[in-house]
Structure 1
Amino acid sequence: MGYCQYINIYIKIYINLYIFYIYKLIRYVAMIVYNKLWETLKRKKISQYKLIKTYHISTGQLDRLRKNENVSTYTLNQLCEILDCELSDIAEYIRNSDSKNIE
């Protein structure tokens, strides 16, 4: 086996270990989910259309909320004011060990 083959094997092993390490880190990441937002909107009888047209919440922000992605505290504050609710009525912190509750 030549020197280049040893290097290639070493690189493959290193990459696999790196991917495994990243996977382990991701497994323990906690997240904030916005499932309660949709329930609160329904309870307050405010549609997503009304959020967009009347309250000028962008479709991009709503898309990020639907996907449980990062949104600004400004947006969360606006939603709390519009819905006259607490942050806990629209967002919830879930540890990754509880990830089965996300969907």
Structure 2
Amino acid sequence: MSLVLILFGTALVSLALFNKVPRYVAPSRPTTGRGAAPARGGTATRRAATGPRAGVRPRVRLVSARLTEQGRALCTAVGGSALIVAFFLPLSGL
């Protein structure tokens, strides 16, 4: 029980401190040089000459959590309380 509370409290406090959450970025398909729309500017002819491009691998990015000050205060209070309870549970013998 203490380990669960430690993980929960740590997650909430780090969310409040850094204001970032992980987001999964889906993989994209590889583009071929022929008929592919240019990503930026007029580079379609250059890509057509170089051949197919490799797709983007799936990954996890950190993005803004967009928390308000009240949300950050709530995450800090609940997470800190969970950490305090996790500290005192083993001392009480539970």
Q: What's the TM-score, normalizing by structure 1? A: 0.26
TM-score, normalised via structure 2 length? 0.28
Q: Whose radius of gyration is greater, 1 or 2? A: 2
State the structure with bigger RCO (CA 8 A, min sep 6), 1 or 2. Answer: 2
